[in-house]
């Protein structure tokens, strides 16, 4: 079966990092460079910076008015105003003008009576140093302006320049070589053939290196060729401060990154107890850190954060720990292995003043789960998981402010939810829609548990043949409303040209079917139609094969692994499939009445009724907006 | 008295912003540009982006192993293993390899028995689609990858490329012209003369524009010349999307920015009810926003945030609202005017699980207060202020994580506190020292109110002649400890060469003295020495003139507004003054015993005893480290 690396270990994350940084701390030497202060934004101070000048540089007028000798104004009063003459008794000053000896006080313009001949009268004595900003009031020469290892902000630039500092010593930004590897990978922009993988991780790394104070240098993909990779890495460690190899870090037949690094230097860690992301290589080659990251995007991302960023910060002086952790209640049971520390991406919403974390797809390949995530929670290595409703600590990507203005939708999937999510912040800045797709019934259950504001649903009541209202009446005791959504056509998705000539439900037995998950409205509809047609589920080949969304069903058919599946017309259009109409259905939003007054839920309603929404839905095709935005109180 | 702008108004901040953005919304047109995805980090999407390809692009192996037809493995069991032959029955696959029809399942390498002749045996049937990542599992073609107005992150770059997108439409970054003005301002790096002001605001603006998604263009300072400014602004509105003029925005004799803007276009607002920062001009010149900002750095900063950033985000699509607000208890009474909304910079610390906000210098010129601030709180326009101990909402600049690892020191000022603050995070990453200077007695009071962890103090007990311990015993009922700090020399700071020939306390009557604030240990020491010498405070000219730190005293003397003041030797050295020794004193740290076990307080102790600290203090001069770091339990 070829050569496999049998020695992939399972070192705990913290131990792996400690072993590696400990070894690196003995050899890594951060470098210093001196740069102009005006170019120092976001750079990190190499040493404490002390002011060269005071600010203000001299005793300065704090107000517009006249500068006087306080001593000589004694005796002035409302009853006996004192007349002062220019040059002899005062000088006119604007805010910021120097106050020179013997002047030692400022009288504000508002308190002067102009006599018309250039002289002024005052009706109160001036106190010494009144309305004078003393030299050094803001900055005293010799004072520490910034400590070492401080990340420079705009205000710091202002203060440094005011304090007479024009050049500053900062950590040099480490140069990081990034090597994408693999014979199957192609550059973005190339038309992919079967078996090709578009190389995107290296571009993500490039951006991450920039964000964390490094200078990335991304090389063109290296084919899976032992000698080639060896010579590239060997050259790179001479020129760069750090090298990232992606991927080939696992133990497959073509995963020889670890062998190359063992030959060139020392591999300290191969394999870390983290999920996703086990196949990590932490090596040192000729005094330089070389890190092998796994190929799955989520694994790559998590391990970049776990291992690359700490090493970058050893070199660039940046402190880490800008994390924002909050406690949230997890919306469904999370089972995790005792063998791994697991990073679970979550959507976070505030419902009824409670933070709720809804887990997203957990696979290592689910890059979109990172895009959609509001944060992630960590299930420790020694834990078997968390029960629904239990608290977890979530590290947030988004601000609490955004989360507090987000409508949380959990339920059935439709493409119009994407359109709504796109339109919300455009129409009402700082108002958002977050949606998680668990099927109609799953959404109603989440609503009942207080984990969502609204639940998109399309559940047919078999007895009455009507949509949504019967099931809501059955499930909820609190006052509920139904926001009418769209009428949409359900049908059977089939390959372009309908090669098997499927005409309806009656033709499903015998073809390879892909179903939706239990509780999905589309599955309920299938079951109803099968029953009507007198077909048993066992007669449907693939009845047990579940896809989570309309688009996933469409993808399965487009990919040739299934012949048919129930879904909506817009999904068929998006994937260029044929569509066999089965019938219309009502896709609505269940909402507890008490949420209808929430400002962001009101925004949701406004957007639903907007012209922009109608136009966008028109473009998708397959919808009718007959009652859209109407509220039915149950 | 020259021409003053009598019409400076006092418009509330929100009203001013609403008036301005409403007017701008009718004329501003954000611009679009298309750029490579690989260069799109931190740019903002112009429209929703939809995937062109699925990811994975095909049904792919999710594990290393063999691809088989599931149907043909039926019947394999532990008791009756099935033998499979290459080519006929299986193909070897690594993770990510395509699974081609008729293959529809993967058996993991770990589950295979190799027979040595190329064939393998399996002991269980494969389920259809097991260990296969279906086409589109992560991304489905036609799916929305990113909504509009989304700020692009590294993971987004990865997903866009995976989804087949290589170029993306984003908001063009607005070009912002920045005009520093004023005859008195000089460029940084020039040796300043009396009356010169180093121009630093424009460089701060430059960095702020960059941080908020604009492209700054900073011009060389423009002298106070009506026609010159007019022609510059007039040219700039043709070439740039926005213009900032700084300063001349007030109503002084040389403040003609508003006149220039009235002549060129329309001034919508002049004067805003905000403190610091009243003199703001919001104008529109030939369809472009032109904003006049005040000259004081804090006023400039606050109004940049209030007015420039919202206008930038109208142009660049960025959403604001990344603020982190927390509730904290304010440590001292904040009196505020009913006429203004006031922005108070605060240090924030967590003591006894309570967040405490300690106000910093409130002047418009106090740029260092912004550097030192952990955040700010807003006192609304209709409020007279907040009492000590009352809750305020603080908008944080620092992360809660940093704040939770910060030792809060409130009390007497010494330069060694800066050294400690510098060394803490270097020696113990992510551990910080924050110090606020309110004098020894003020610090002990803060400690008693539970607002600090430690209080730097040097209070002489007049009866016993000993330091710190007697006063701690008097003030505290809970178990206290004293961490010994440094012995330092107190003395009289005088101008270089001691021109008045001051030899000691006895020579103070008659000279211009600058004192420290009530409750400062140095003032207690002066009072003690005056009493010993039989001198009444009334005999000291300037006894009532108060400076808040040793460095402020030194600055007053260096600036020529005072002849003498008590202080420490390192302050004299820092400002190049002469120093007349009065005697040694003990500068220590009071700490409640229960805080000694806090991890960051332990770090503080370690740093205090470190070699690095000793070396740095040596360089400052005037200290002895006889007992440094010893703990005396009281």
Q: pLDDT-derived band of residue B227, with 50, 70 and 90 as boundaries?
A: very high
Q: Is B166 left (phi over 0), alpha (psi -120 to 50) or beta?
A: alpha
Q: How many CA atoms lie within 13 A of A155 on its CB side?
A: 24
- What per-residue confidence (pLDDT) applies to B276? 87
Kindly state the tokens that stand for A51. 């002011």
Q: Is A131 left (phi over 0), alpha (psi -120 to 50) or beta?
A: left
What does the alpha-carbon distance between residue B603 and residue B431 come to, in Å, rounded to a whole number?
A: 7
Residues 6+ apart with CB under 8 A from B499: none
* Mean pLDDT value of segment B468-491: 95
Q: Decide if A162 and B198 are in contact by the 8 Å CB cutoff.
A: yes
Average pLDDT over chain A, rounded to whole? 91
Three-state secondary structure call for residue B240: coil
- Minimal Cα–Cα distance from A44 to chain B, Å? 13
The answer to whether B23 contacts chain A (CB < 8 Å) is no
* Mean pLDDT value of segment A149-177: 95
- B238 has pLDDT over 80: yes
The answer to whether B102 contacts chain A (CB < 8 Å) is no
Q: pLDDT-derived band of residue B320, with 50, 70 and 90 as boundaries?
A: low
Nearest to A25 by CA among A35, A17, A14: A17
Contact A249, A257 (CB under 8 A): yes
Residues 482-521 of B with CB under 8 A from A: none
For residue A556, the chain B residues in CB contact (below 8 A) are 134-136
* Mean pLDDT value of segment B225-229: 93
| Mutation to test the B interface, candidates A70, A117, A139, A142, most B Cβ within 10 Å | A142
> pLDDT (tens digit, 9 = 90+) per residue, B29-42?
999 999 999 999 99
Q: Decide if B200 and A161 are in contact by the 8 Å CB cutoff.
A: yes
Q: pLDDT-derived band of residue B249, with 50, 70 and 90 as boundaries?
A: low
- What per-residue confidence (pLDDT) applies to B110? 87
- B5 has pLDDT over 80: no
Identify the DSSP state of B7. Answer: T
Q: What is the dihedral of CA A336, A340, A345, A349, to 10 degrees?
A: 50
- B6 has pLDDT over 60: no
Kindly state the tokens that stand for A585. 């259905």
The answer to whether A410 contacts chain B (CB < 8 Å) is no
For residue B573, the chain A residues in CB contact (below 8 A) are 142
Kindly state the tokens that stand for A368. 């979109």
- What per-residue confidence (pLDDT) applies to B480? 97
Q: Is A600 left (phi over 0), alpha (psi -120 to 50) or beta?
A: alpha
- What per-residue confidence (pLDDT) applies to B143? 85
Largest CA distance in chain A: 112
> pLDDT (tens digit, 9 = 90+) per residue, B108-152?
988 999 999 999 999 999 988 899 988 888 888 888 899 998 999
- What per-residue confidence (pLDDT) applies to B252? 62
- What per-residue confidence (pLDDT) applies to A2? 39
> pLDDT (tens digit, 9 = 90+) per residue, A494-508?
999 999 999 999 999
Query: Shortest CB distance from A366 goes to which of B138, B208, B561?
Result: B138
Contact B594, B353 (CB under 8 A): no
- A4 has pLDDT over 60: no
- What per-residue confidence (pLDDT) applies to B256? 83
- What per-residue confidence (pLDDT) applies to A285? 97
- What per-residue confidence (pLDDT) applies to A320? 66
For residue B207, the chain A residues in CB contact (below 8 A) are 41, 153-154, 157
A-chain residue closest to B116, CA distance = A1
* Mean pLDDT value of segment A325-329: 89
> pLDDT (tens digit, 9 = 90+) per residue, A365-422?
888 888 889 999 999 888 888 988 899 999 988 888 889 999 999 999 888 999 999 9
- What per-residue confidence (pLDDT) applies to B570? 82
Q: What is the SS3 string spanning A50-97?
A: ECCCCECCCCEECCCEEEECHHHHCCCCCCCCEEECECCCEEEECCCC
The fraction of chain A above a pLDDT of 90, given in percent, is 66
Q: Decide if A430 and B48 are in contact by the 8 Å CB cutoff.
A: no
Contact B325, A401 (CB under 8 A): yes
Contact B53, A193 (CB under 8 A): no
Query: Shortest CB distance from A158 goes to which of B154, B250, B367?
Result: B367
> pLDDT (tens digit, 9 = 90+) per residue, B353-396?
899 998 888 788 888 888 889 999 999 888 888 988 899 999 98
What does the alpha-carbon distance between residue B16 and residue A634 come to, in Å, rounded to a whole number?
A: 45
Nearest to A163 by CA among A88, A56, A237, A86: A56
Residues 6+ apart with CB under 8 A from B537: B527, B530, B543
Query: Shortest CB distance from B133 goes to which of A204, A365, A426?
Result: A365
Higher-scoring residue by pLDDT: B467, B559 = B467
Nearest to B58 by CA among B139, B115, B150: B139
- What per-residue confidence (pLDDT) applies to A12? 92
* Mean pLDDT value of segment B74-97: 92
Query: Shortest CB distance from A197 goes to which of B96, B196, B399?
Result: B96
The answer to whether A114 contacts chain B (CB < 8 Å) is yes
Nearest to B196 by CA among B209, B187, B208: B187
Residues 6+ apart with CB under 8 A from A519: A438, A439, A440, A441, A442
B102 prior amide bond cis, ω within 30: yes
Average pLDDT over chain B, rounded to whole? 91
Nearest to A309 by CA among A244, A219, A363: A244
Contact B46, B172 (CB under 8 A): no
Q: pLDDT-derived band of residue B335, with 50, 70 and 90 as boundaries?
A: confident
Query: Shortest CB distance from A254 goes to which of B94, B297, B575?
Result: B94
ipTM of the complex: 0.88
> pLDDT (tens digit, 9 = 90+) per residue, A226-278?
999 999 999 999 999 999 999 776 666 667 899 999 999 999 999 999 888 88
What does the alpha-carbon distance between residue B628 and residue B486 come to, in Å, rounded to a whole number?
A: 6
> pLDDT (tens digit, 9 = 90+) per residue, B265-285?
999 999 999 888 888 999 999
Locus of tokens 């940049």? B304
The answer to whether A140 contacts chain B (CB < 8 Å) is yes
Q: Report the DSSP pairing between strands A274-275 and A325-330.
A: unpaired
Nearest to A177 by CA among A226, A124, A232: A232
Residues 562-591 of A with CB under 8 A from B: 573-575
Contact B311, B209 (CB under 8 A): no
The answer to whether A399 contacts chain B (CB < 8 Å) is yes
* Mean pLDDT value of segment B492-516: 95
Nearest to A270 by CA among A284, A282, A252: A282
* Mean pLDDT value of segment A165-192: 94
Q: What are the helix (H) ranges across B563-598?
A: 569-574
- What per-residue confidence (pLDDT) applies to A6? 47
What does the alpha-carbon distance between residue B197 and residue A504 come to, in Å, rounded to a whole number?
A: 83
- B322 has pLDDT over 60: no
- What per-residue confidence (pLDDT) applies to A306? 93
Q: Decide if A155 and B204 are in contact by the 8 Å CB cutoff.
A: yes
A-chain residue closest to B572, CA distance = A142
- What per-residue confidence (pLDDT) applies to B388? 84
Residues 6+ apart with CB under 8 A from A545: A513, A514, A515, A562, B128, B129
Q: Decide if A95 and B295 are in contact by the 8 Å CB cutoff.
A: yes
Query: Shortest CB distance from A545 goes to which of B129, B195, B368?
Result: B129
Query: Shortest CB distance from A430 goes to which of B200, B319, B415?
Result: B319
What does the alpha-carbon distance between residue B220 and residue B199 come to, in Å, rounded to a whole number?
A: 10
- Minimal Cα–Cα distance from A480 to chain B, Å? 30
The answer to whether B200 contacts chain A (CB < 8 Å) is yes
Query: Shortest CB distance from B559 goes to which of A135, A547, A551?
Result: A135
Contact B377, B331 (CB under 8 A): no
Identify the DSSP state of A11. Answer: B
- What per-residue confidence (pLDDT) applies to A323? 65
What does the alpha-carbon distance between residue B149 and residue B629 come to, in Å, rounded to a whole number?
A: 54
Domains of chain A in sequence order: 13-29+173-316 (3.40.980.10), 32-55+138-171 (3.90.105.10), 60-133 (2.170.190.11), 325-404 (2.40.340.10), 445-633 (3.40.190.290)
- What per-residue confidence (pLDDT) applies to B1? 37
- Minimal Cα–Cα distance from A317 to chain B, Å? 9
> pLDDT (tens digit, 9 = 90+) per residue, A136-146?
888 888 888 99
Residue A11 phi/psi, 5-degree rounding, is -75, 135
* Mean pLDDT value of segment B91-99: 89
The answer to whether B208 contacts chain A (CB < 8 Å) is yes
Q: pLDDT-derived band of residue B2, with 50, 70 and 90 as boundaries?
A: very low
Q: Decide if B142 and A59 are in contact by the 8 Å CB cutoff.
A: no
**Residue positions counted in chain B:** 634
For residue A188, the chain B residues in CB contact (below 8 A) are 37-38, 161, 164, 166
> pLDDT (tens digit, 9 = 90+) per residue, A522-563?
999 999 999 999 999 999 998 988 888 888 899 889 888 899
């Amino acid at each position: 079966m070829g050569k496999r690396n049998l020695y992939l270990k399972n070192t705990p994350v913290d131990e792996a990092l400690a072993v590696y940084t400990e070894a690196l701390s003995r050899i890594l030497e951060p470098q210093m460079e001196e740069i102009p202060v005006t170019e120092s934004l976001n750079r990190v101070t190499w040493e404490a910076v002390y002011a060269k000048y005071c600010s203000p540089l001299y005793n300065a007028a704090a107000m517009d008015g006249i500068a006087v000798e306080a001593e000589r104004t004694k005796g002035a009063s409302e009853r006996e105003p004192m007349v002062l003459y220019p040059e002899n008794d005062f000088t006119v000053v604007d805010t910021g003008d120097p106050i020179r000896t013997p002047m030692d006080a400022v009288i504000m313009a508002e308190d002067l009576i102009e006599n018309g001949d250039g002289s002024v009268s005052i009706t109160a004595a001036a106190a010494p140093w009144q309305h004078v900003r003393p030299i050094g009031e803001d900055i005293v020469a010799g004072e520490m302006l910034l400590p070492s290892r401080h990340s420079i902000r705009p205000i710091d630039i202002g203060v440094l320049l005011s304090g007479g500092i024009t050049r500053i010593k900062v950590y040099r930004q480490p140069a990081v070589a990034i090597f994408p590897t693999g014979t199957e990978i192609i550059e973005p922009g190339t038309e992919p053939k079967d078996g090709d993988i578009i190389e995107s991780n290296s571009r993500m790394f490039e951006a991450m290196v920039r964000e964390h104070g490094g200078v990335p240098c991304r090389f063109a993909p290296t084919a899976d060729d032992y000698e080639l990779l060896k010579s590239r890495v060997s050259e790179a460690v001479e020129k760069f401060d750090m090298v990232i190899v992606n991927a080939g870090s696992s133990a497959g037949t073509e995963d020889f990154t670890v062998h190359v690094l063992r030959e060139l230097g020392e591999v300290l860690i191969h394999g870390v107890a983290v999920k996703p992301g086990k196949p990590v290589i932490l090596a040192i080659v000729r005094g330089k850190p070389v890190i092998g990251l796994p190929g799955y995007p989520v694994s790559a991302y998590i391990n970049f954060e776990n291992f690359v960023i700490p090493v970058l910060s050893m070199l660039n002086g940046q402190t880490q720990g800008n994390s924002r952790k909050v406690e949230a209640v997890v919306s469904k049971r999370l089972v995790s292995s005792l063998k791994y520390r697991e990073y679970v991406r979550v959507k976070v919403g505030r419902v009824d003043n409670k933070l709720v974390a809804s887990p997203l797809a957990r696979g290592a390949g689910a890059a979109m789960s990172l895009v959609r995530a509001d944060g992630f929670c960590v299930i420790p290595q020694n834990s078997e998981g968390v029960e629904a409703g239990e608290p977890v600590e979530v590290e947030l990507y988004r601000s609490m402010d955004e989360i507090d203005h987000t409508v949380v939708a959990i339920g059935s999937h439709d493409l119009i939810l994407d359109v709504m999510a796109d339109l919300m912040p455009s129409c009402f800045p700082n108002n958002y829609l977050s949606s998680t797709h668990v099927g109609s019934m799953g959404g109603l259950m989440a609503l009942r548990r207080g984990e969502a504001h609204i639940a998109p649903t399309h559940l047919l009541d078999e007895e009455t043949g009507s949509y949504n209202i019967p099931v809501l009446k059955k499930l909820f005791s609190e006052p509920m409303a139904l926001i009418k959504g769209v009428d949409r056509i359900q049908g059977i998705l089939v390959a372009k040209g309908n090669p098997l000539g499927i005409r309806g439900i009656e033709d499903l037995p015998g073809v390879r079917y892909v179903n939706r998950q239990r509780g999905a409205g589309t599955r309920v509809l299938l079951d109803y139609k099968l029953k009507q047609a007198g077909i048993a589920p066992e007669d449907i080949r693939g009845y047990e094969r579940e896809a989570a969304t309309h688009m996933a069903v469409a993808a399965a058919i487009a990919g040739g692994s299934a012949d048919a599946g129930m879904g909506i017309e817009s999904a068929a259009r998006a994937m260029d499939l044929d569509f066999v109409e089965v019938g219309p259905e009502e896709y609505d939003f269940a909402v507890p009445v008490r949420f209808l007054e929430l400002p962001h839920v009101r925004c949701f309603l406004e957007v639903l009724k907007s012209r922009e929404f109608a136009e966008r839905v028109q473009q998708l095709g397959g919808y009718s907006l007959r009652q859209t935005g109407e509220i039915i109180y149950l």
